[in-house]
Structure 1
Amino acid sequence: MVKLASAAAPYESYLFNFWGERVPAPQAYFPSLLVDGQALGVGALRRPQDLAVGPDQKVFIADSGNNRIIRLSAELELELEITTFINNGSDDTFRNPSGIAVSDIGEVYIADTDNARIVVLDADGNLLRIIGQPESSDRALIKDDYIYRPLKIEVDPLGRVYVIAANVYEGIFQFDKEGKFLGFIGAPRVTPSAVDVFWMRLASDEQRAQLQLFLPIEYANFGINEDGMLYAVLRDTAADGNEEIVKLLNPAGKDIMRRVSQLPIIGDVEITGSSFIAQSSFVDVLGRKNGVFSVLDGAKGRVFTYDRNGDLLYVFGGIGDVLGRFRNPVALAELDGNRLVVLDNRGITVFEPTAYTQAIHQAIDFYDRGYYFDAAEVWQDVLNQNPGFEIAYNWIATTALLEQDYDKAMRFYQLGQNRTGYSDAFSAHRQKFVGDNIAWIMTGVFAVFIFLFIGPKLKLGKRFSKFIGLADNPKALAELSAQMESMPENSIPHAVKREYSFRKLVDSLLYSLHVIFHPFDGFWDLKHEKRGTTAAANTLLVMTVLAYVFMRQYTAFTFNTLDVTEVNLFVDATSILVPFLLWVGVNWAFTTLMEGKGTLKEIFIMSAYALTPVIILNIPSTAVSHFLIEGEGSLLTLVRVISVAWTVMLLLIGTMTLHEYTMGKTIITAILIICGIAAALFVGLLFTSVVDHVSRFIITILTEINYRL
């Protein structure tokens, strides 16, 4: 028996933020005790596979390699070693007992794997009954050649028995309290990918038969929660965010697990693009109070605990030989509703909760019992210990929403990265604001209506243009042009040149509005009437970059999942400029070979003018996004899709007009340009990779030379 010598935990504690990044957290549990076979006086454990805690807090261990069951007291002291039991007047033994469960009335159920049976004993090791191999008249359920090998077992409050057996893909065996086989529940779902469906349609009958041999994943383990429903984990699953590794099965076998968290319930995660890849392999699951459940990661020796929404509450544990780490952890249980125990090859490790963990469970319990304000106070205490705990912010925000404190709810939902909750709070806030200010709002709407009605009659637009100097811009531009043409180049005053350049830029920019609504005439005039300038094209390109940055930085929280603190202006600008310049360069390269009439400068100007919809639609829509709720997000998406589609259409029309192509030739050219851009990007990435490797090699050589000198 080993006890912890210091208050330090030999592992790190962490959580994952909204973006799947690991962030440090206070320790949730400290290891306090390791109980091994030598300390118990029964010799070393051999491949123990399961443990269970009875209603009287007695602990039962399935010591599989030694073919025995060990019973410990609530104080984890040896009470009984069961190696044999009386069966029909003679001694009987276990063969590789792999699973164990204790019912609410203290009956001990043992999955006697190699004997192909379930043995039911009382707490003192006396045989009550044996549940043999399941039998069914339906041969589709149980085949004649099936070899029954029960691995894990659970009993619900009504006495129904659930068994996970080897090489069973139909789900979990279900028996009634008399041991009669009732059928399977919770068959793991097989969802073929689009690629699988495609090849299935192309395959021959023989190939299709082979493809159909892919089977569902087996269950690894399960546990009964306080409501009598099964938490179950799948075996050896490397999942992405779409696969359900942990299930909550109701008595009908339907998965009713709530999965509202941003991150899937997969333990340690690795982000690949927009997917979350599991790095954990769950071997046991423990249903706890208030919908909380813990899962044991056999690969990394960690215990992950989640709330009923699938939000991660805390993590502890690891692989190793010191107290608090494990060698091949296999089972997880809870003692006295407070401590957690983990079984591995050495024995049982006991973990004591910290004040931080107790506060988390207290807050959840308060909320479930309807003490919302008490729960909020406890969650605030949790935040004082861990300011980065996003879930705590969400719980406090929910309470504020119940109090109709919408500003506080929005603020805390934002801190908790809960966009749905934020939208709900904003919806209530918006409704209240409209109700409180309906008179002013209607007055404003009426004023706008009047302005739109009488504005054209009073020629307010023209008057405003004249006021800011735009109404007479064409006339002033013509006069300046005539004045400059009548003077020698070196005698034109700089003030005249500056005014002409400015007015020409304004005129060219305003012409972009004509181009996007009359693209055929507009692009023709850009080329032949010189209505576009390089300065205006550069300005539009810069404005597009700024619009993109503005959209990424300032889209309303409800619709913006980016970490704005990590947004890089250079990267954002590059993501616009590089594709644009590649389009221009590859366009010129291909159209030169395909009898195109446009020059490189004209292609640049045309392409920049085609970006105008991105500017005029995305900047206002980004501002408007702050007045929308989540259910209205489709409007924002629609506007952004229109801006992209409009730009693509303008690029096609501009290419066709500029190079004097037919529509068919334009489409072929556009496809070639896209392929050329892809090839250029590939070559660029390859070149970058080669330069990186060469530079690393040179640095290594120089470092080695430096050491030798």
Structure 2
Amino acid sequence: MRNLKNIFLMLIMVMFFNVLTVNAEAPYNTYTSDKDGYINRTQTAYTPMNKITTINNEKLKTPEHVFVDKEDYIYITDSGHNKIFILNKDYKFYKELASDKFGAVKSTFVTEDKIYVVDSYNSTIFVFDKNSLELLQEIGEPDSPIFKEGYKFRPTNIAVDIRGNIYVRSTGSIHGLMMLNREGEFLTFFGANPLKVPIVDKIRSYFLTEKQEEKLEKVFPDVPTNLAIDGKGFIYTVTSSIKSNPVKKFNISGTNYFPNDMVGIYSMESVWVGQYNNVFTVSSEGWVFEYDSTGNLLFLYGGKDFSSSRLGLLNRPISIATNSMDDVIIIDQGTKLIQTYRATEFTNAVHKAMLEYQEGNYEESEDLWSYTLKYNSIFDNAHVGLGDAYLRNDRYELAYDEYYDARYNSGISKAFWEIRQVWLENNLNIVLIILLILLVIRFILKLLNKKTNFSTKISKKAGIVKKVKIIDDMAFVFEFLKHPLDGFYKIKMEKRVSKVSSTIIYLLVIASYIAHKKWTNVLFVSDGRYFIGYKLFVIIFVAVLWIVSNYLICSINDGEGSISNVYNATAYALTPIIVIMPFVIAISNVLTLEQAVFYRLPIDLIIIWVLFLMFFMIKDIHNFEVGETCLVILRSIFTMLIIALFLFVLYSLGNQIYSFLHEIIREVITR
């Protein structure tokens, strides 16, 4: 009876702990990014698994670096113990690497047969046999003229490619990584960050000597913090002093394949390449980033642990690695421990989908990306991945829809190109027949016109319609665009147009703007469908501010034009917009990114044409010389800024007065 009771209690305890494990939540949120780089919350990608503070009955003193080899053996570098602990794939102690020659070990890199140990104190790279742990080679400062001239060799982290070339991150190396051959001979510098120099110093550099420029370069260096290498030989660096593109992916020629606007933060300390060519980084603030092979953010999680007690949060992480089970292993030097994380089912689905796609199994990747979207329907990376799979399987419409959901312009362009090609193949003969019919109709109409002269009758009827003032004013648009200088004269001296027609033109300009934002191809105005009302308000406000400011300045400078002249002439100066924009909108919807020039060229033409007309509007309406016109424009812009500043101050004061009165009224009501 007692045994049954004990078994019953054990079952309850097992059920209780199982429930706790299943319902346990990570002490942080997980985020991903959309196509605009905005951070959105998503499902938990990794859950904290374990903390390791002791290895082989020795407490970690100053853990520096973690490396995982292809067999999932884990190499923990501890400069406090001055040795490398080696763990098996179950995180159990396997053996250790120590040597009397070590001064202060900093990091390791492990190949199939060798262990490279970086000793920062001795500025030496020790090479050991992986199996016997026998010392094979010592690589010190290379025998190269650059080091004899005072350049320091202070290695902290390395990466080794399949040819045995060694890429060294050296403290204070402003020229990037050092590249050594397998014998330790210096080859070249590699993967330097662009020099970040303030604008004043850029201007000043034109007047500096060569030696002064060299001194200036040493003032603002962005030295890579860490590096990694993948199976294809791409070198990855991370730089803690850069925010916009802290992670870079270099090929052998030094070209960076990652975008300059990738999501990142300052203080990134370590980088690691996973088995799916996904890139992991960790910042000293405790944030863990995972990117795909093209630099798009997949997951962001973690956070700062101020109490040193919550599993999953980090105090001062300095190194990161992953194994074949997608566990994330992080060295937290602030709390002297190793933190591990386990990938969730959602993350496993994302990784498997990436792997299937990379291996060419597109149908399998379709299923996996679709499965991922069940977890998070707004996960842009899944939509892009699914679109890629559809595109590979010639399902172009579906690919277009997925790319469109993610607002992934490059994919939208590729899918639309294929859709357009298929449509042309199926309908080109119909298009040619229609064009031929139109040519025949045109020829027949010309013959009929010679016999009946019906075009003259149509012109007479059009002339009768044109006698309507508003129609005549609107028809004047085309005459104005042919001869704008004569048009300004007629507007000013002959009162050729009315305020009603000018108001209609203003409304048509507004309608053209709205149509442009709503119906232009999403490739060219990807954010045009959002905040149209707000953008339109800003444009109208600026336009009104310009008309008022320009009229005031022109009046002060004895301009001859009236406010009515300015109102009408400005409207007709904007008419290129309503004439050209409908064609731009129409043609944009049959273009891809490769033909973007046919969209941008007419847009640039509109801008140049309108600016030209606005200049001569001011000159001719107010009867100024060219120099006076330029001066009036500058003064008008300055006046706009003053008026805008005054309105802003007025708004701020009014807002504060309103808040003050509101608080007083609330206080009176509550009492």
TM-score bracket for the superposition, by shorter chain length: 0.7 to 0.9
Which residue in the other structure is 2:552 paired with?
589
Which residue in the other structure is 2:10 paired with?
none
Q: 1:373 is matched by which residue type in structure 2?
A: E
Of 77, 85, 105, which aligns to 2:92? 77
Report deviation, 1:388.
1.1
- In 1, the alpha carbon distance for the partners of 2:149 and 2:622 equals 75
Report deviation, 1:223.
1.8
Which residue in the other structure is 2:299 paired with?
314
Classify the secondary structure of the residue corresponding to 1:627.
Answer: coil
Measured at CA, do residues 464 and 284 of structure 1 come closer, stay the same or move farther in structure 2, by a change above 3 Å? farther
- In 1, the alpha carbon distance for the partners of 2:279 and 2:385 equals 18
Structure 2 length-normalised TM: 0.87
Which residue in the other structure is 1:292 paired with?
278
Measured at CA, do residues 214 and 409 of structure 1 come closer, stay the same or move farther in structure 2, by a change above 3 Å? same
Corresponding position: 1:108 with 2:120: no
Corresponding position: 1:131 with 2:131: no
Report deviation, 1:135.
2.5
Of 464, 468, 472, which aligns to 1:472? 464
Classify the secondary structure of the residue corresponding to 2:596.
Answer: helix
Q: Is the 8 A contact 1:526 1:606 kept in 2?
A: yes
1:592-618: CA deviations, max 9, x gaps? 122211111221111112111111111
Measured at CA, do residues 125 and 329 of structure 1 come closer, stay the same or move farther in structure 2, by a change above 3 Å? farther
Report deviation, 1:68.
3.6
- In 2, the alpha carbon distance for the partners of 1:660 and 1:178 equals 80
Corresponding position: 1:335 with 2:323: yes
Measured at CA, do residues 355 and 119 of structure 1 come closer, stay the same or move farther in structure 2, by a change above 3 Å? same
Report deviation, 1:464.
6.2
Q: Where do 1:202-213 residues align within 5 Å?
A: 202=207, 208=213, 210-213=215-218
Of 513, 518, 523, which aligns to 2:478? 513
- In 1, the alpha carbon distance for the partners of 2:140 and 2:436 equals 80
- Structure 2 unaligned runs (5+)? 1-17
- In 1, the alpha carbon distance for the partners of 2:192 and 2:574 equals 52
Q: Where do 1:50-449 residues align within 5 Å?
A: 50-80=65-95, 85=99, 92=100, 94-105=102-113, 107-121=114-128, 126-129=133-136, 131-138=138-145, 141-143=146-148, 145-190=150-195, 196-202=201-207, 208=213, 210-214=215-219, 216-239=221-244, 244-250=245-251, 252=252, 254-255=254-255, 257-259=257-259, 264-267=261-264, 279-299=265-285, 301-320=286-305, 321=308, 322-345=310-333, 346=335, 347-449=337-439
Q: Is the 8 A contact 2:413 2:593 kept in 1?
A: yes
- In 2, the alpha carbon distance for the partners of 1:383 and 1:437 equals 36
Q: Is the 8 A contact 2:196 2:222 kept in 1?
A: no
Measured at CA, do residues 461 and 234 of structure 1 come closer, stay the same or move farther in structure 2, by a change above 3 Å? farther
Which residue in the other structure is 1:478 paired with?
none
Classify the secondary structure of the residue corresponding to 1:290.
Answer: coil
- In 2, the alpha carbon distance for the partners of 1:465 and 1:443 equals 31
Measured at CA, do residues 593 and 215 of structure 1 come closer, stay the same or move farther in structure 2, by a change above 3 Å? closer
Q: Is the 8 A contact 2:124 2:141 kept in 1?
A: no
- In 1, the alpha carbon distance for the partners of 2:120 and 2:231 equals 27
Corresponding position: 1:614 with 2:606: no
Report deviation, 1:158.
4.2
Report deviation, 1:462.
6.8
Report deviation, 1:175.
3.8
Of 525, 531, 534, which aligns to 1:567? 531
1:151-175: CA deviations, max 9, x gaps? 1133334444333221222332344
Q: Is the 8 A contact 2:174 2:218 kept in 1?
A: no
Q: 2:524 is matched by which residue type in structure 1?
A: F
Measured at CA, do residues 397 and 147 of structure 1 come closer, stay the same or move farther in structure 2, by a change above 3 Å? closer
Corresponding position: 1:631 with 2:639: no
Q: Is the 8 A contact 1:103 1:159 kept in 2?
A: no
Q: Is the 8 A contact 2:517 2:532 kept in 1?
A: no
1:292-315: CA deviations, max 9, x gaps? 22112223x222222222222222
Measured at CA, do residues 187 and 670 of structure 1 come closer, stay the same or move farther in structure 2, by a change above 3 Å? closer
Which residue in the other structure is 2:64 paired with?
49
Report deviation, 1:547.
0.9
Report deviation, 1:202.
4.5
1:493-539: CA deviations, max 9, x gaps? xxxxxxxxxx3222222222222222222222222222211111111
Which residue in the other structure is 1:660 paired with?
623
- In 1, the alpha carbon distance for the partners of 2:538 and 2:383 equals 34
Corresponding position: 1:576 with 2:539: yes
- In 1, the alpha carbon distance for the partners of 2:456 and 2:203 equals 61
Of 689-698 and 55-64, deviating more is: 689-698
Q: Is the 8 A contact 2:195 2:217 kept in 1?
A: no
Q: Is the 8 A contact 1:220 1:233 kept in 2?
A: yes
Of 572-581 and 66-75, deviating more is: 66-75
Which residue in the other structure is 2:5 paired with?
none
Q: Is the 8 A contact 2:142 2:184 kept in 1?
A: no
Q: Where do 1:450-599 residues align within 5 Å?
A: 450=440, 458=449, 470-475=462-467, 503-562=468-527, 564=529, 566-569=530-533, 571-599=534-562
Measured at CA, do residues 654 and 169 of structure 1 come closer, stay the same or move farther in structure 2, by a change above 3 Å? closer
Q: Is the 8 A contact 2:362 2:393 kept in 1?
A: no
Of 222-231 and 372-381, deviating more is: 222-231
- In 2, the alpha carbon distance for the partners of 1:137 and 1:528 equals 82
- In 2, the alpha carbon distance for the partners of 1:231 and 1:663 equals 56
Measured at CA, do residues 126 and 584 of structure 1 come closer, stay the same or move farther in structure 2, by a change above 3 Å? closer
- In 2, the alpha carbon distance for the partners of 1:611 and 1:145 equals 64
Which residue in the other structure is 1:25 paired with?
42
Report deviation, 1:328.
0.4
Classify the secondary structure of the residue corresponding to 1:326.
Answer: coil
Report deviation, 1:110.
2.1
- In 2, the alpha carbon distance for the partners of 1:192 and 1:374 equals 49
- In 2, the alpha carbon distance for the partners of 1:664 and 1:253 equals 52
- In 1, the alpha carbon distance for the partners of 2:170 and 2:246 equals 18
Classify the secondary structure of the residue corresponding to 1:109.
Answer: strand
Classify the secondary structure of the residue corresponding to 1:76.
Answer: coil
Q: Is the 8 A contact 1:247 1:255 kept in 2?
A: no
Q: Is the 8 A contact 1:455 1:461 kept in 2?
A: no
Classify the secondary structure of the residue corresponding to 2:526.
Answer: coil
1:169-211: CA deviations, max 9, x gaps? 2332344444444444333343767765433224578865653
- In 1, the alpha carbon distance for the partners of 2:517 and 2:283 equals 37
Q: Is the 8 A contact 1:226 1:287 kept in 2?
A: no
- In 2, the alpha carbon distance for the partners of 1:312 and 1:551 equals 31
1:411-438: CA deviations, max 9, x gaps? 2221121222222222222222222222
- In 1, the alpha carbon distance for the partners of 2:454 and 2:174 equals 75
Report deviation, 1:465.
7.2
Q: Is the 8 A contact 1:104 1:157 kept in 2?
A: no
1:574-599: CA deviations, max 9, x gaps? 23322221222122211212221111
Classify the secondary structure of the residue corresponding to 1:647.
Answer: helix
